[in-house]
Amino acid sequence: LGFTSERAWHRFVIGNLFPKGQFLERSRYHRRCRSAIKWIRHELAKRGQHHAYAVVDSLPLPLCHTARMHRVKRFQEIADIGYCASKKQWYYGLKLHLQVTDQGLPMGYVVTEASCHDRIAAESVMTQIPHPYNFGDKGFISRDLQKRLYEEYQMALWTPSRKNQKHRASETWEQWIQQKRKVIETVFSVLV
């Protein structure tokens, strides 16, 4: 019907489908919608198709232009300055940490301040709907994290090797991981 906001949809429903007082109040309606969507997402991930693996990554959410980031006043309580390694630049804003199945279904997400490292948010993202096999990028390299995830949740986290690591995986393994991680880059491009 072309609605661009939840508020407009709620106004349409109470104005055309239900007389006043017989439908839920707007904030309660949206709370129930969010919990229903969360339940649907959980059920799809849990018993939908059997997913071979999940991919974890983060996406910067800049809130202002780089030239204004030191004098911005909005969202000071929750946003800060972070570094995007792929673009090699600093930004002011937030960071979205996302876990996606091999078929592009988002399973878990966390929004943090921009300076939050991927390893810190990884456990909270991956334990929302646990998957036994997870792929991450070089930002998730941590033996302690991998060990804790395996011992507490029986989840394996595989990451590519750094160039200066003593024990490196084979070149074919590195290429295979890169190929499997493409699904999250596709999801990010759709979100952006």
What integer pLDDT is reported at residue 10 of this predicted model? 87
Q: What is the DSSP string of 6-74?
A: HHHHHHHIIIIIS-TTSS--HHHHHHHHHHHHHHHHHHHHHHSS--S-EEEEEEEEE-S-GGGTTT--T
DSSP summary character for residue 162 = P
What integer pLDDT is reported at residue 73 of this predicted model? 82
Sign of CA dihedral 166, 167, 171, 175: negative
DSSP summary character for residue 49 = S
What integer pLDDT is reported at residue 92 of this predicted model? 92
Q: Which of 162, 85, 150, 101 is nearest to 123 (CA)?
A: 150
Q: Which of 87, 90, 185 is nearest to 79 (CA)?
A: 90
Helix (H) or strand (E) holding 62: strand 54-62
Count of residues making up the chain: 192
> Mean pLDDT in each 10-residue stretch from start to end of the chain (192 residues)?
84 83 85 84 65 88 87 86 88 92 84 91 88 87 90 89 77 82 82 77
pTM reported for the whole predicted model: 0.70
Residue range 82-137, pLDDT digits in tens: 998 888 999 999 999 999 888 888 888 999 999 999 889 998 999 888 888 898 88
